[in-house]
Structure 1
Amino acid sequence: MAEASNLDREKIIRYYSRREIEEEMLYNCPNREIAIKYGESGFGKRPDTLTYPNDILEFAKDGATSFHASEEIWKNPLSLNLEQKKADADALRAGWDLVLDIDCHEFEYSRIAAMLVIEELKAAGVKKSLSIKFSGNKGFHIGVPFEAFPEKIEDRPVKSLFPDAPRKIALYIAEMIKPKIGERIMKYEKNDISAIIKKTGKSTSEISEYGFTDSQGRWRTLSYDKYKRLLESGKDLPPPRLNVSSFLEIDTILISSRHLYRLAYSVNEKSGLASIPVNPEKISEFKREDAALDQVSASKFRFLDRENAVGGEASSLFLKAFEWDF
């Protein structure tokens, strides 16, 4: 199968031939469905698995450009099929990891969002169990492994709550950091709204959000017409704030059964860079050029690091997300 034309085939093979890279990529492969992408030809057969380091090199020689894993942990990934009923898939699922996908056309805005998500996770008690990696292009993936989850929430086994639980958590975090993202992006751009418009390609109306903060400190969005009517009636309302959701996304709707994420150290076809782990304490220092294939080496920071996960550390996060009134 042919690989994407904008990637150097020999460079890809040379990169995937490095044993330290192969071994790190395999770290999150056990009991996961693996999907292999062949550049512009798309994904190969599903489900698939990766077992041995040399498998990665052999697939690369056959044109593979990137490797993706399921967020869900399966008893037997090869038993999955498209015709499977939900009950059968639920019976096969042994657990799942939380992977938050932060994506924006402007890399610096993604960095700001990632730092805020990390802050919010820490505020909810998730500290030793969190990890982050560069997506390989313009965003970041933030992960919390299943080992840090509570066993049950609302008397239901957490392993059975995919995809509802990660959606709730992603929505909760997105809502909690929403006002801060706007403030920090405005600060980063020195309050120059035209810079944001230029970088995002959005209009003034698209990046403006109208509303007010209620008595519980929650932002309540209003349509422009209602906002205007209330102002005309004498209502004291704050000025419009930056609507980051028009150009920055924390994946929620796309979280679904058999949802995949790019394996750590896998190549991103769009950029030719690797999706490498990042020190959660030094996101601000990360540079995209650090992910150039000839610059990458195995990091002491692992994405979804199970060995360092603290059992139950994400319990408060689950409670907050499930109690949140959206």
Structure 2
Amino acid sequence: MQDPTPREKEPPKKVQLIAPSYYQRKDIQRVMFEFCKHRETVANFNNKFFAKRPDALDYPTDISNAAKQGATSFHCSEEIWENPLDINTDMTPDQYNEIKIGWDLLIDIDSPFLDYGKIAARLLINEFERHGIKNYGIKFSGSKGFHILIPFKAFPKEVQGEQTKDNFPEWPRLIAGYLFERIREPMNNEILGLTDRDKLKESGELISENFCPKCGQPTIKRKNYKYKCPDIRCKSELEGFTKKRVAMLCPSCNAKMDIVNEREIDFCETCKISTAKIEASTSNYGGSIREVKIEFKKEDTIKSTEDSVDIVLVSPRHLFRAPYSLHEKTAFSSIVITKDQIENFRPSDADPLKIGEPKSFMPESEEGEARELLLQALDWGRINKP
């Protein structure tokens, strides 16, 4: 039976209206094709489905032809292959390595707020430069973040007898984790300065953690009770986690002690030390208080910055938005920008109808300029796991 109230056809989104003419631009085709060479490159059809994988671009005009068929964006791999079409899902890691030329380090700065993304991008670039890296690619993600790229050429071909190309995604993952560890604290501090602390608390964005001064592990909160001997000749004091149902007896005079205070303290389950233990001697008979020489370190974390450096993106055959590809939700282009353009960048700068001459996302790197970064990340990875 025919539906008496047929559904209305969904109106096309802005990105669908723009895509066919935008991808007709020869300069856009050229820059996208040059970057996507030797990469698995897959068309996305308005976030409804992707083209079958593996896929690759044979000619620049493949981009406009796909757009005519409804493609709205193009996504490519971090890995660089001899021939992407040789990829088979049944392959073992060793078989993948046989047809793999290398990989680029692609750091995805993902944040709910563009200003947070700008802070993360600037701090990451500062870290690159501290490690001797002068050449890197920067592009707008198309939404609220940035993609920063260090080409495979910048890394040493071999480290301690291991081929760099064969250590994907392990080594890029370590680099991303190492970099995030270095920028996390200054990034949180800058965001706290940018945003009202109380507003961050209200929105659930601000997370405060305390860390043990001995082992550095996060502490837990526990109730602590303070007892005082009522005998004026004794005046002994005790603190502990136990709340006696009947009475706490004074260890000095055996009198019943009074609860004079209860509070929440930090306790390290590993070292079995607490705020109270550091503040006073264990027995503290007669009320003798020790001078506090160490303290639990408090660290503020902005919730949305925890995922600002996307380590998940660094995974086998994961795809990221190709440079100058459109974004389905915003209809903006993933344009390439410079370091100096980050601070004043506005999403409207990526309006596909106003984009001028496109630039290459692939920088002219010097061979081995990212060696120090990789070595430091490997050292960090021996102790830490991202």
| Same-fold status (TM-score > 0.5) | yes
* Deviation of 1:86 (Å): 1.5
TM-score for both structures, normalised by structure 1: 0.88
CA contact (8 A) 1:4 1:269 kept: no
Whose helix proportion is higher, 1 or 2? 1
CA contact (8 A) 1:104 1:247 kept: no
* Deviation of 1:14 (Å): 1.3
CA contact (8 A) 2:108 2:147 kept: yes
- What secondary structure sits across from 1:319 in the alignment? helix
Q: Which entry has the higher C-alpha Rg, 1 or 2?
A: 2
Match of residue 194 from structure 2: 188
Aligned-partner Cα distance in 2 for 1:100–1:10: 30
Match of residue 361 from structure 2: 303
Equivalence map 1:50-199=2 (5 Å): 50-127=57-134, 129-189=135-195, 192-197=196-201
Aligned length: 311
TM-score for both structures, normalised by structure 2: 0.75
CA contact (8 A) 2:205 2:304 kept: no
Match of residue 241 from structure 1: 300
Among candidates 275, 294, 297, match of residue 231 of structure 1: 275
Moved more, 282-291 or 91-100: 282-291
The RMSD of aligned alpha carbons is 2.3
- What secondary structure sits across from 2:147 in the alignment? strand
Instruction: Specify every segment of 5 or more residues in structure 1 that has no aligned partner in the other structure, as ranges.
Output: none
Instruction: Specify every segment of 5 or more residues in structure 2 that has no aligned partner in the other structure, as ranges.
Output: 1-8, 223-264, 268-273, 280-293
Aligned-partner Cα distance in 2 for 1:120–1:4: 46
Match of residue 222 from structure 1: 218
Deviations 1:168-198 (A, max 9, x none): 1000001011111101111122xx1233356
* Deviation of 1:110 (Å): 1.1
Percent sequence identity is: 35
CA contact (8 A) 2:15 2:72 kept: no
Aligned-partner Cα distance in 2 for 1:3–1:320: 52
Among candidates 189, 194, 202, match of residue 204 of structure 2: 202
The reply to whether residue 313 of structure 1 matches residue 381 of structure 2 is no
* Deviation of 1:282 (Å): 2.8
What amino acid sits opposite 2:165 in the alignment? K
Deviations 1:89-121 (A, max 9, x none): 111111110000110111111111111111111
Aligned-partner Cα distance in 2 for 1:59–1:71: 22
